Amino acid sequence: MTNLRNKVAIVTGAASGIGREVALKYAEAGAQVVVSDIDEAGGNDTVVLIKKAGGEAIFVQADVSSAADNERLVNETLITYGALHIACNNAGIGGPQGPVGEYPIDGWDKVIGINLSGVFYGMRYQIPAMLKSGGGAVVNIASILGQAGTPGSSAYVAAKHGVVGLTKSAALEYSAQGIRVNSVGPGYIKTPLLTKNLTDDVIQSLVALHPIGRLGEASEVAELVFWLSSDNASFVTGAYYAVDGGYLAQ
Ligand code: NAP
């Protein structure tokens, strides 16, 4: 397996779902992992899982929609592990459902604050730390809805399209300085984000949208994130990679 020994990684939204699987994967490959989330109990559970598997991790509670929390997250990473090489900006929410003409203003602000500004604030503090650490790799979690629209989720769709564009700009700015920046677009994945918020009937209707005939697993997204974070992806930057069971090929 590709080795992340001597690498320090931050994963946001790592108390649950995709973020937890990414954190476990990084740690399994030997990285020192900073597990971050607003959910303290879930974040600590991820750290326990990593340690039980023989890995190294700490938990730092942070709200990605706060610039100050992102700055503190990077500072605590540097204090504990002395460097930063990898960041997976993954924390995100679904947000309210409704047409644009009726969409709740506070819901719009919250989704943009977490799903888009959260990624910017993350990179705003991660990139200077990576430059001082000799380079690195950022993977931002977008969505199939970073490439295509869907009715009822305008804030989510706008935020995820924004993440794809932000990723390209950051990649162009830092590729010559040894930092690669890519985005990943999962199809619908079986995580609490879906299962907490949607009925079984709606989940079954989502299955039908994927030519592969099922929803994805968080571990399948983590495989792609892991590869993009590793030196095996050394010529890959500014790209959007789908992991979507064929959703966007239609
Ligand atoms: P998840 O299981 O709900 O995990 C997301 C984690 O982020 C949760 O622990 C959540 O805490 C945390 N979080 C929420 N707001 C936060 C904030 N302001 N600051 C820090 N952490 C926060 O969701 P997931 O499905 O793994 O989603 C991870 C990412 O994948 C998101 O960006 C999502 O948009 C993207 N994605 C998911 C799917 C899918 O179908 N699941 C598809 C495409 C893209 P709480 O539980 O306390 O809210």
Find tokens 């954190």 and name the residue: 23
Q: Is 4's C-beta closer than 6 angstroms to any atom of ligand 1? A: no
The partner residues of 162 in beta bridges, in order of sequence, read: none
Residue 1 in this model has a pLDDT that exceeds 90:
no
Within the chain, strands assigned E span 8-12, 32-37, 56-61, 86-89, 136-141, 179-186, 240-243
Known active-site residue 156: yes
Interatomic CA distance for residues 102 and 93, integer angstroms: 19
* Rounded CA separation 77/7 (Å): 12
Residue of minimum CA distance from atom 41 in ligand 1: 189
User: How far is the first Cα of the chain from the last one, in angstroms, to the nearest whole number?
Assistant: 33
Residue nearest to atom 11 of ligand 1 (CA): 39
| pLDDT average, residue stretch 223-243 | 98
pLDDT of residue 84 exceeding 80, the answer is: yes
Average pLDDT of 19-41? Answer: 98
CA–chain centroid gap for 73, Å, is 15
pLDDT confidence band for 198 (50 / 70 / 90): confident
Average pLDDT of the chain to the nearest whole number? 97
Report the largest interatomic distance among the alpha carbons of the chain, rounded to a whole angstrom: 51
- Domains parsed from the chain with CATH numbers: 8-189+217-242 (3.40.50.720)
Give me the mean pLDDT over the 171-176 stretch. 98
Burial class from Cβ neighbours inside 10 Å (0-12, 13-18, 19+) for residue 236 reads middle
Interval 195-215 mean pLDDT? 93
